[in-house]
Homo-oligomer: A and B are copies of this chain.
Amino acid sequence: MGKTVLAADLGGTNLRMAVVNENGQIEHRERCSTPQANSAEAIVSAIADLAKLCSDAVGQTNIKVLGVAIPALMNLGEGKIDIAPNLPMLDGVALEAQLEKALGLAVVLENDATAAAIGEHWLGASRGFENSICVTLGTGVGGGIILNGLALRGPDGTAGEIGHICVEPDGHPCGCGSWGCVEQYASATAVVRLAEELISTCGSIIDASRPFNAKDVYDAAKNGDKAAIETFRRMGNYLGLALAGLVNTLNPEAIVIAGGMSAAWDMFIDAVRAQLKTRAFREPALRVKLFRAELADDAGILGVSSLALAMGDKRI
């Protein structure tokens, strides 16, 4: 019987876990709401509960490793969370050791965006490419980088934070403390703000007197609404500007666009391509391929399962 591991995606809202085999097939899934109490113990306990449900469901006792994808800056060497903006109860917590103690399993943590990059590299859109960037467009903008087949983490484990590349030097304030970050121009949140600005001057079929979301802007763009179309063009320009800098800096073979906003691909990708063509050097611009992510919500789980499967071997 092949090796099987547990892999979890710990989000601010949901905790999901799966049993994954060495071919990357998901054999069983469980999920629950992420405990909102200000207690790391509640998180550990929820993960332990799902792990038991998963193990019982597949009737296996040979699961020895759990991988966990977390939206956090982490010290991977110490298995410690530095800062988790959406899971503040974990700030400073030695989560790896706490989970190992509670579950009796070896545990490997990974930043969720890096985990998604690893997952897409293993089984998704960037498989077969040794140098790739995965940019996740959701409420924020996350990123993961694979160079020469290995995830780039850096000495602090913070590498890959491409959402906080500045694209507008006097731009919109960002939650990170800087301003003008690409996260403020290419996330779902940003699309709503950009649309609000355009609607107030140009008008739109979107009723801006009540709250609307990025999906509403996308639907309006599909119906030919000029303000909505221009919103995505601007969003694509800014995303392309940031990616062109990465193409010049890293010379990647593939860029994978993931996250909820990737559903609006047809509305922004032409602007991204135009920026890459005019702003990046010819050779790396011709080289790089743009892909929509293939693994959707499973990218992070599959990414950490690959790390968990490799435990004992070298870590990618």
Q: Are B156 and A284 in contact (CB under 8 A)?
A: yes
A168, chain B: closest CB distance, angstroms? 6
Q: Which residues of B contact A130 (CB under 8 A)?
A: 155
Q: Which residues of B contact A167 (CB under 8 A)?
A: 166, 169
Contact with B along A104-117 (1 / 0, CB 8 A): 00000000000000
Q: Which residues of B contact A253 (CB under 8 A)?
A: 155
Using known A-B contacts A73-B283, A169-B241, A178-B244, determine if residue A131 contacts B155 with beta carbons closer than 8 Å: yes
Q: Which residues of B contact A245 (CB under 8 A)?
A: 164-166, 245
Q: Are A287 and B73 in contact (CB under 8 A)?
A: no
- CA distance in complex: A263, B156 (Å): 31
Q: Are A158 and B82 in contact (CB under 8 A)?
A: no
Say how many copies of this protein the assembly contains: 2
Q: Are A251 and B158 in contact (CB under 8 A)?
A: yes
Q: Are A251 and B159 in contact (CB under 8 A)?
A: yes
Q: Which residues of B contact A280 (CB under 8 A)?
A: 164, 178
- CA distance in complex: A154, B73 (Å): 26
- A20-28, A41-49, A145-153, A308-316: which lies at the interface: A145-153
Q: Which residues of B contact A152 (CB under 8 A)?
A: 147, 250
A248 at the binding interface (Cβ < 8 Å):
yes
- CA distance in complex: A241, B179 (Å): 11
A160 at the binding interface (Cβ < 8 Å):
yes
Taking CB atoms and an 8 Å cut-off, the chain A residues in 265-316 that contact chain B are 278-284, 287
- CA distance in complex: A131, B248 (Å): 18
Q: Are A279 and B178 in contact (CB under 8 A)?
A: yes
- CA distance in complex: A38, B249 (Å): 30
A252 at the binding interface (Cβ < 8 Å):
yes
Q: Are A287 and B156 in contact (CB under 8 A)?
A: yes
Q: Are A153 and B249 in contact (CB under 8 A)?
A: no
A162 at the binding interface (Cβ < 8 Å):
yes
Q: Which residues of B contact A211 (CB under 8 A)?
A: none
A225 at the binding interface (Cβ < 8 Å):
no
Q: Are B249 and A159 in contact (CB under 8 A)?
A: yes
A58 at the binding interface (Cβ < 8 Å):
no
Contact of A158 among B145, B244, B248 (CB under 8 A): B248
Q: Are A156 and B244 in contact (CB under 8 A)?
A: no
Q: Are B248 and A156 in contact (CB under 8 A)?
A: no
- CA distance in complex: A127, B229 (Å): 50
A177 at the binding interface (Cβ < 8 Å):
yes
Using known A-B contacts A152-B147, A167-B169, A241-B166, determine if residue A283 contacts B248 with beta carbons closer than 8 Å: no
Known: A131-B155, A245-B245. 7 other contacts (CB 8 A): A82-B283, A143-B249, A153-B251, A154-B252, A158-B284, A162-B248, A178-B280
